[in-house]
Amino acid sequence: MADQNHSKTLIQAFSVENLNHITSKIIQFHKRKNYPALQKIARIVSEFSPIDPENKSRLFSNLVILFHPDKVKTYHETILQLKDSEGLIKFNYITAVLAVIDQIGHESDSALLTPDEFESEYGWNYQPTEDDYFMVREEQEPKSYWFDEENPDQTPYFDDSDASFDATFLSALKRKIYGPTYIDFPVHLLEDMEEIEMAEYEIEDLAGIEFCRYVRFLDLSLNAIFDISLLAHCTYIEELYLGSNQVHYIDSLQNMPELRLVDLSGNKVNDITPLLEHKKLEFVNLIGNPVPERQIQKLKAKGVVVIY
């Protein structure tokens, strides 16, 4: 009897109206870049169902997929089939989120870090050139360092005298792994990489990505990428994040049979026909793209969750 009441409560909570309300809030937080609010929702969900609140790349898409009103029928059918309380408990996140969703995002606490918090979080150490903090000669400029607490020699990571800057994917990957870009990187090692997170690395050219043949999760958000044709070599991709770049054409995504999730937000894509034949596609983020309404409706008709 208790399980029946539990099922009834969950089915009432998983209504189109409630899911619409939560999803609209999630999209609102995403557009405002209010990641703490999204993380708060994810932490509530994580008490009942697996989700990683710390993975910012996947956070928005995972939450939208979880709460999108298109899934209401699936949720109702699943809940009605469950006969044990243990199985029902994992859906309790819906009532927990509903209880606080209207308060999330309105906290009065400032999201800005104090100077001490910033130094602790990011390792930023600002020092004048003289030992005496207040005795800096006029002809000298203060020097700033990205300070590595594990290597406290205070050597700058970047040398401004090096005017040449390679904005390729391969160079950015070297910077992430090694620091210096002059170190040789055996490209055959790229074939072993299944998850690559390269958001905010000032990438303009995807040269080198063609060697990442077996990558399944790829995050290239917040770069300056225009041409993504080399992604045609990455045929095993399941999750692709290209938000906030300069992408116009996505023909290279056509030959990715495992593709489940795509984030194209903040680009200039006006044709998504390469996505229409994907059989495993679950979610597409098109916010900020001039995509024709008829193409969006075609994608939604295939059961894909589309945010635009």
Instruction: Name which of 167, 207, 204 is nearest 190 in CA terms.
Output: 207
Q: What does the DSSP assignment read for 81-97? A: H--SHHHHHTTTHHHHH
pTM: 0.75
- The token duo for 290 is 């001039």
Q: What is the DSSP letter of 116?
A: H
Burial class (CB in 10 A: 0-12, 13-18, 19+), 188: exposed
Mean pLDDT by 10 residues, the chain (308 residues): 84 96 94 93 95 89 93 93 88 96 71 48 44 40 44 45 72 86 79 94 96 97 97 98 97 96 97 96 96 96 93
- Report the length, in residues, of the chain: 308
CATH number, span 169-307: 3.80.10.10
Q: What is the pLDDT of residue 1?
A: 60
Pairing of strands 195-197, 143-146: unpaired
E strand or H helix at 195, and its extent? Answer: strand 195-197
Q: What is the pLDDT of residue 133?
A: 38
Residues of the chain within CATH 3.80.10.10 domain(s) are 169-307
